[in-house]
A and B are shown apart, each in its own frame.
Chain A
Amino acid sequence: LSLGSWSPAFGEDDAPTNAVQKVTLCDGCGNKCAFTAYTVNEKLWRAIGCVGYPTSHGFLCGRGQGYAFLYANENRVKTPLKKNDSGGFEEISWDQACQEIGQRLTAADPGKIALYQSRGNSTFYPKRLMAALGSANCYSDAAIRDAGITATIEGISGAYPAPDVANAKYVVMLDKSTYDGMRPAEMAEFAKMVENGGHVVLVDSRETSFGRICDEWIGVKPGTELAFLLGVAGELVRTGHYNKDFVAANANGFDQFAAAMKGYTLDWAAETTGAETTQISQVAANLWANAPAAFVDMPWAGTLGSGFANSVDTVRMIYLINAILGCFNQKGGWLFPNAPFVSDEMLAEKGIPQLTTDASIITYADAPLVWGDSIIAAFEQMQAGNLTQMIVVEGNPVLDVSNGNGVKEALGKLDLLVVLDSFMTETALLADYVLPLSTFLERTDTIVTASGANAVAGLRTPVLTNTEVDGKSIPDAICALAAGAGLEAAFPFTLDDYNRANAELMGISYEGLLREGISAIPGSDAQLGTMPYLRTASGKIDFASPTFEAVGLSAVPTWTSPAVEAVNGSLRLMVGQEVVFQDTFCDASPYLMTLVEKYQLQQAWVNSDTAAALGIADGDTVEVSSPQGSLTVPAKVTELIAPNVVWMPAHFGSIYGQAEGTPLFGAAPKPLIAWQLEPGTGAGMMNETAVTLKKVGA
């Protein structure tokens, strides 16, 4: 035995010959990127994004890579749990849980049962159970997420864009944080674009991680990007720098729009946003010079979807500026793929019978632009006693929805709270029953589609097994609940049947999808040089919108100040996404959590001058207070944020995923935000809060 042969060097045994390959979908955020999972002995060895999938283009983001370590977390909910009289949880069987829950649901007033599901996995199943129970009260996270965007696009055109970043020459990235980058496909495309000599300008109150590759950062005052866009549009219209042929062919009410825009001068926009007049005129000039391979990017959700009192018009301005640049369905502009349309009627023909209820949803009465579904309105109604039973599927509203204390109070008034989740969340702790779900690595979900230049179907299937957890997939868990309620007749088909029916209606082979994990949908490619199908009454893009006018809003976009101003020493609270986290659920991955601790990603950002005035040094613990409450968090004093603002990542201050008994890490900012509703959409205005900041112990 020579000393050298004691054992191999690290690395030499690293290429396993027994790796199993399978394509599945990431669940690190709503993008659901497709990737090939290589597993060796029930562990993930490599996760490589699929090249042909619109969101991944061959890559996973860091969050996706790290979230896949979910199996390393041992703190799972392992069996169904029932709250006992002393407030603790007892393990029970699935059968018992479903019987008891089923009886309590069928005994309830159907109009008072609510569903909250935020992560968008297999939503068909929980909603169908609700319909079978006779309730229409299905809530998503739209009101704290993208309600403002969908409402606006529905209102003025009905056609949803996908940016062609790789071929663009000039992009204005507005209020878009790591999200853009974190759609790995877009990251890769931005890298290509910059390599090809394209330019990116970041308009944001904070220099996000993407700033590292941007040419220019314009640090506007929070909530004023509408003014920035009005200034840009005014300049374009005054100088005649817009595509007149496109406007003539496709615009409705352009003259009214143009007349209004002319009033927004560069000086006014500069004054309002804090940017230089030359910066605004430069952006306008560059957009025009590079059109149609130029656009203002639309950040999907977060800040614009539910951020400010003026978000709806910000979204309108992005859409309309890109329209007058003539970049629709042009190389390097906005593409409009033909996403497949699958209706309930079509499914019925394929053996998935329709199931509807004539009940109507309890929601916010003054949100005429959206069809309903404001989770904030739901919690207000719950406080008033109008909702008395709730099922939460993969959601943690206590930390994710504004006014966390109000949410807790509302949940406390329920007769029944059932939470389906993989981990013991803050919401699950309040539940009467907790049902364990398997994680995305262990289960099958319903088929999804993702769109870019074309639409591609994807299917999540298991890559690992966990024998220690008695968890079910969402479809299985919902079917079990339906059986407990005596409603098994509502699901006279299997998940396989449902997925196959959808696949066939999309024109793809289900066997092929099962084998490959993803499948491009024939005929979905965006057609360059054509106009997308518009669903407005005018058949055109409504630059002056009858829909908006009809609900008492201005026909053309107008300047509205943000609801909150930082005055008398108060600061604006901005909440956003941190690069490796999506909301609060990522802390279930210990690998992402160590990253957060190592790089102190939980810190609240404060501009150095603002901090100096308040006597705050980098790393100091600060107290952030709003009328809703206060919390303490370490401060990051930085040049990368505008003065008089505090930015906090939205994800921390959560308990699950961590060993029991460990202290809270970071702080959850959402309880600082009041329940407030944007007129027209009922969106949560998550960035309309003023706070005060003070050093702890000073």
Chain B
Amino acid sequence: MTYEPIWGGIIAWYLFLAGLGGGAFITSAFLKWTKPEATTMRRIGHIVAPVAVCIGLVLLMFDAKAGFLNPLRFALLLSNFGSVMTWGVVFLAAFTIIALIVLVLDLMKKSVPNWLDIVGVVAGVCVAIYTGVLLGVCQTFPLWNNALLPILFLVSALSTGAAAVIAIGILVKPQEFNEIGLLKKTHYALPAIEILLVASLVFITAHTNQAGFNSIMNLIGGQWGAWFWIGFVIVGLLAPTIIETVTLFFSSPQFEEGATARWLSFASDAGVLVGGFLLRYLVIVAALPLTMVVPML
């Protein structure tokens, strides 16, 4: 039998947007603590966080057709605290509420208490990690069922969140872009970490068992190979790393602060976003279950 993935694009968008929302909030908090004067960028993060998560949730509800047709059933989501998804709902709800409160405070130009930021950051991290654990508890998919995936998704969430904030910042308030050096440097490190994590994931999964090996072959060769190498690795990881390496370390400060550098950086952020989405999508569709290949079939 050929195996058809259970989830597809919509769930990939959901996982991507949830992570991105969490990452954007964390980016804002990071900016607040390291560069308090970058208020526009901070606000962008505050807006992106709840909006992205809410869009993700709407997509999720849309994909959950039985619930979509009977919306009252969503009230049942808190029924089973043994379910990662139930915890996800808790995290998402908590995070969305905090993010909205923070946004309102920000828009009302009131100061956001530090504890609230900290709670929000914790909730954001939970949301980002949850998107990985959600897949991870499905034991029969070796590509999902490992400790690396939540970490990878967390790093990717931070990376895409920051990329979204920076990219929008470039469009809305270019001059602030030049002042957030530390964020840029931190952000720069993330794709590099991701490369390491993905390489480990591929290596480890391929060595677990036949299904793991087949999943990896499916991911890096087979049907999804081109998307993986061109879309995720080159556009999403290598290109941003190279662009940022060049602009951050090998170009003059004037160039670094010029329009070309901004647009290069914009392109690199866009690449990170594309890569972030493709990571979720490919991990979802390329995974093959264990019983398809062992022990009899």
Contacts and interface: CB of A to CB of B under 8 A. Distances in A.
Contacts of A6: 73
B79 interface: yes
A3 interface: yes
Interface in B61-83: 73, 75-76, 79
Contacts of B79: 3
Contacts of A3: 75-76, 79
Contacts of B73: 6
Contacts, number: 4
Nearest to B73: A6
B57 to A, nearest CB: 21
Interface string A1-38: 00100100000000000000000000000000000000
A6 B74 CA distance: 13
Nearest to A599: B1
B236 to A, nearest CB: 32
Contacts of B75: 3
A6 B70 CA distance: 12
Nearest to B70: A6
A6 B67 CA distance: 13
A3 B78 CA distance: 11
A6 B79 CA distance: 14
A327 to B, nearest CB: 39
Nearest to A3: B76
Interface in B137-183: none
Contacts of B76: 3
A393 B73 CA distance: 53
A641 to B, nearest CB: 21
A3 B75 CA distance: 9
A6 B73 CA distance: 9
A3 B76 CA distance: 8
Nearest to B79: A3
A170 B62 CA distance: 60
B81 to A, nearest CB: 14
Interface in A121-136: none
A3 B70 CA distance: 14
A568 to B, nearest CB: 36
A6 B72 CA distance: 10
A505 to B, nearest CB: 53
A6 B75 CA distance: 12
B4 to A, nearest CB: 11
Nearest to A600: B2
A451 B265 CA distance: 84
A634 to B, nearest CB: 13
A522 B111 CA distance: 99
Nearest to B76: A3
A168 B76 CA distance: 60
A45 to B, nearest CB: 24
A3 B80 CA distance: 13
A93 to B, nearest CB: 43
A3 B74 CA distance: 11
Interface in B41-76: 73, 75-76
A3 B79 CA distance: 9
A178 to B, nearest CB: 21
B80 to A, nearest CB: 11
A619 to B, nearest CB: 10
Interface in A91-124: none
B72 to A, nearest CB: 8
A580 B164 CA distance: 55
Nearest to A619: B2
A3 B73 CA distance: 9
A343 B228 CA distance: 76
A599 to B, nearest CB: 8
B243 to A, nearest CB: 41
A216 B79 CA distance: 55
Interface in B91-106: none
A623 to B, nearest CB: 24
B41 to A, nearest CB: 44
B292 to A, nearest CB: 15
A297 to B, nearest CB: 31
Interface in A430-463: none
A5 to B, nearest CB: 12
B74 to A, nearest CB: 12
A81 B40 CA distance: 73
A18 B73 CA distance: 31
A598 to B, nearest CB: 8
A597 to B, nearest CB: 12
B191 to A, nearest CB: 38
Interface in A249-307: none
B133 to A, nearest CB: 25
A291 B73 CA distance: 68
A620 to B, nearest CB: 15
A55 B38 CA distance: 84
Nearest to A598: B1
Nearest to B75: A3
A6 B76 CA distance: 11
A246 B75 CA distance: 81
B139 to A, nearest CB: 25
Interface in B239-258: none
B73 to A, nearest CB: 8
Interface string A516-555: 0000000000000000000000000000000000000000
A8 to B, nearest CB: 15
A5 B79 CA distance: 14
A3 B77 CA distance: 11
A635 to B, nearest CB: 16
A428 B228 CA distance: 52
A283 B76 CA distance: 66
A357 to B, nearest CB: 57
A473 to B, nearest CB: 42
B71 to A, nearest CB: 13
A6 B66 CA distance: 14
A638 to B, nearest CB: 16
B227 to A, nearest CB: 22
A90 B75 CA distance: 54
B49 to A, nearest CB: 31
A581 B76 CA distance: 45
B153 to A, nearest CB: 31
B147 to A, nearest CB: 34
A104 to B, nearest CB: 53
A412 B75 CA distance: 65
A427 B76 CA distance: 55
B249 to A, nearest CB: 50
B222 to A, nearest CB: 14
Nearest to B72: A6
A656 to B, nearest CB: 28
B67 to A, nearest CB: 12
A107 to B, nearest CB: 58
Interface in A574-602: none
A14 to B, nearest CB: 19
4 contacts: A3-B75, A3-B76, A3-B79, A6-B73
Closest CB pairs A-B (n = 4): A3-B76, A3-B79, A6-B73, A3-B75
Interface of A: 3, 6
